[in-house]
Amino acid sequence: MTETLRIVPLGGLGEVGKNMMSIEYGRNILVVDAGIMFPESDMLGIDFILPDWGYLRDKSEHIRAIVITHGHEDHIGGLSHFLREFNVPAYATRLTRGLMEVKLKQARLLDRTSLHTYAPGDVINVGPFTIEPYHVCHSIPDAVGLGITTPAGLIVHSGDFKFDHTPVDGWPTDYAKLAEFSGRGVEVLLSDSTYADRPGTTASEAVLNDAFDQVMRQAPGRVIVATFASLISRIQQVVDVAAQRGRKIAITGRTMAENTKMARKLGYLDVPEGVLVTLDEIKRLPARETVIMATGTQGEPTAVLSRLAVGRHRSLRIHEGDTVVLSSHTIPGNEELIHRVINRLFQKGADVYYDPLAPVHVSGHASQEEQKLLINLLRPRCFVPIHGELRHLQQHGKTAQEMGIPAENIAVVENGYVLTVGERLEIGERVPGGYVFVDGTRVGEIGPAVMRERDALGQNGFVMSIVRYKRRTGQPVGRPRIITRGFIFVPGAEDLLTRAEEVTLSAASAKPKTPPAEIEKQVQGALSKFLYRETKSRPIVIPVVVEA
Ligand SMILES: [Zn+2]
Ligand SMILES: [Zn+2]
């Protein structure tokens, strides 16, 4: 590494989720955010996905700090994994830190990590970087963007942001600070692209109050509001409206309950005395005086809403007269799951409100006009669209070009491309920037090969063929046993299975002293070919050859 300024996106560019960025000057690294992403419906058995930070592994002693923009999962969800591997100081605002502590405690890491609180307006020096967090509006309080001054110039990282003039907490994005950055001259702007394909301006959070008020006024019974566990601003709005309408609230779901507790403790959630009650208490109140908040707006099978939809919640049942509000957007790829949950809720007699059918959700991300406003306020020399799928990044790049930033100073790249900021903005080599799958406690052991196998198992099932043989003669003994799951309905397929036995027998006869592994290979090859020829499907074939 020479004394140049480099920007290496490790997550969140080319996808929505698992945001992470490495900003480097000489041999000094500053990491921004460490998020997770939730799996798509075809990623079987995967709990969540971490950024691939393998690139940092041999540079750990150069990492000066990790700075966090806000408390959403796609920014802090991977933090405990990251800090377990790199024990570096972490900086966050008060609420974000509180939410991080919940995670670090669960991971038993809280005692051995060095957490620091910063606030908008602070100036923090780490290595050659001077970090200035500034307040931004988003769907969670205490979110910041970052001014990062390096010897090679000022970088502005927008975090996730919108320009809301009437935010829930009454604290708009810090225009003055942005103007001040502009006055100093901005070398590079890294800006949130999530909503880059939406023209106009994102609606203010204030519009939701009317929608919630209408729902709670008209609902004949309980109101169940589902949203993301970390959407603290949304929880505040539901609390406000419920209190006005004389309804009590219970919160279900462990993460949402813990986040609420932490946000209240730190003063970011204002709940009037007596409004928040337990689930047991709520069941004893008249239905029309109650609100239940839950998670599960993406159709996640283990979340509260899905369990309610299929009637598998341990203490709650959906019935006639319930009103369910899904206050969230649909993450692309989850549509099918969500629609299934909504249909089942209707089946059980509930009335369901969801976006875009009813105005029960607004985004926390800037639309095109707000993205233009940020570019105009900062007038950066170079521009890198971040946080979004490639189509969002492309569109944001186009917007920047329309605003007068020359094309050669705009880098539209996906994760892993090393950007060097010099005279020009150079796009260099590509380092890893893919997926690290987390399945239960296993991190990174599940690779693409295993995912393909799970996919094949899910689609075509498996066929296991067990055969005994004598090593001395190399010949099979007795009949093989064929076991199938998810491949074919066995009654009616006896003929096919008998022929599969024959195929196994002839593939299992080999020269004297042939090792079992060799015979397994032969059986697998022959059986796969046979099954494909007969059924045009490719089940996973598992040969088991045992010595008699
Ligand atoms: Zn966010
Ligand atoms: Zn985000």
Q: Which residues surround the ion ligand 1 when the cut-off is CB under 5 Å?
A: 72, 160
Bridge partner residues of 466 (DSSP): 481, 544
Between the alpha carbon of residue 197 and those of residues 192, 357, 397, the distances in Å are: 12, 20, 11
Sheet holding 144-150, edge to edge: 124-126, 129-135, 144-150, 153-157, 188-192, 382-386
pLDDT in tens, 131-169: 999 999 998 999 999 999 999 999 999 999 999 999 988
Ligand 2 centre and the CA of 19: distance in Å?
7
pLDDT (average), residues 177-183: 97
pLDDT in tens, 413-442: 999 999 999 999 999 999 998 888 887 777
Ligand 2 centre and the CA of 194: distance in Å?
8
pLDDT (average), residues 327-340: 84
**Tokens encoding 370:** 């707000």
Dihedral, 468, 471, 475, 477 alpha carbons, nearest 10: -30
pLDDT at 448: 72
Q: Which of 64, 121, 69, 112 is nearest to 93 (CA)?
A: 69
In the block, which residue shows the tokens 């089946």?
A: 347
Q: Is pLDDT at 545 greater than 70 in this prediction? A: yes
Q: Are 375 and 191 in contact (CB under 8 A)?
A: yes
pLDDT (average), residues 515-534: 90
Q: Is pLDDT at 2 greater than 80 in this prediction? A: no
Q: Are 360 and 212 in contact (CB under 8 A)?
A: yes
322/346 Cα distance (integer angstroms):
10
Ligand 1 centre and the CA of 68: distance in Å?
11
327/360 Cα distance (integer angstroms):
5
pLDDT at 42: 67
Bridge partner residues of 153 (DSSP): 150
pTM for the full model? 0.83
From the CA of 72, the nearest ligand is 1
290/283 Cα distance (integer angstroms):
9
Q: Are 305 and 274 in contact (CB under 8 A)?
A: no
How high is the mean pLDDT of the chain?
A: 92
Ligand 2 centre and the CA of 143: distance in Å?
11
Ligand 2 centre and the CA of 92: distance in Å?
15
Residue 413: count other Cβ atoms within 10 Å of its Cβ. Answer: 21
From the CA of 17, the nearest ligand is 2
pLDDT at 95: 95
Handedness of CA 505, 510, 515, 518 (dihedral sign): negative
Query: Which residues participate in catalysis according to the annotation?
Result: 192, 365
pLDDT at 1: 45
Cα maximum dimension of the chain: 86
Confidence bin at 494 (pLDDT 50/70/90): confident
From the CA of 70, the nearest ligand is 1
Give the DSSP H or E segment for 76: helix 73-76
Q: Which of 539, 472, 480, 529 is nearest to 508 (CA)?
A: 480
Residue 238 CA from chain centroid, whole number: 24
Q: Is pLDDT at 41 greater than 70 in this prediction? A: no
From the CA of 162, the nearest ligand is 1
74/120 Cα distance (integer angstroms):
21
Ligand 2 centre and the CA of 290: distance in Å?
31
pLDDT at 352: 96
Ligand 2 centre and the CA of 387: distance in Å?
7
**356: cis peptide before it, omega within 30°?**
yes
Ligand 2 centre and the CA of 76: distance in Å?
10
Share above pLDDT 90 across residues of the chain, in percent, rounded to a whole number: 71
From the CA of 143, the nearest ligand is 1
The segment with the largest mean pLDDT, out of 225-229, 299-303, 356-360, is 225-229
**Tokens encoding 533:** 């020829």
pLDDT in tens, 458-473: 778 888 899 998 989 9
Higher-pLDDT residue of 536 and 243 is 243
Contact partners, residue 44, CB within 8 Å, separation at least 6: 451, 454, 455, 457, 458
Ligand 1 centre and the CA of 139: distance in Å?
7
**Tokens encoding 491:** 């009654």
Q: Give one DSSP letter per residue of 242-302, joined into a string.
A: HHHTT-EEEE-SHHHHHHHHHHHHTTSS---TT-B--HHHHHHS-GGGEEEEE--TT--TT
Confidence bin at 412 (pLDDT 50/70/90): very high
14/433 Cα distance (integer angstroms):
10
pLDDT at 84: 95
Q: Give one DSSP letter per residue of 126-159, joined into a string.
A: ETTEEEEEEE-B-SSTT-EEEEEEETTEEEEE--
Residue 528: count other Cβ atoms within 10 Å of its Cβ. Answer: 17
Between the alpha carbon of residue 228 and those of residues 73, 140, 308, 488, 526, the distances in Å are: 10, 11, 16, 40, 50
pLDDT in tens, 188-238: 999 999 999 999 999 999 899 999 999 999 999 999 999 988 888 899 999
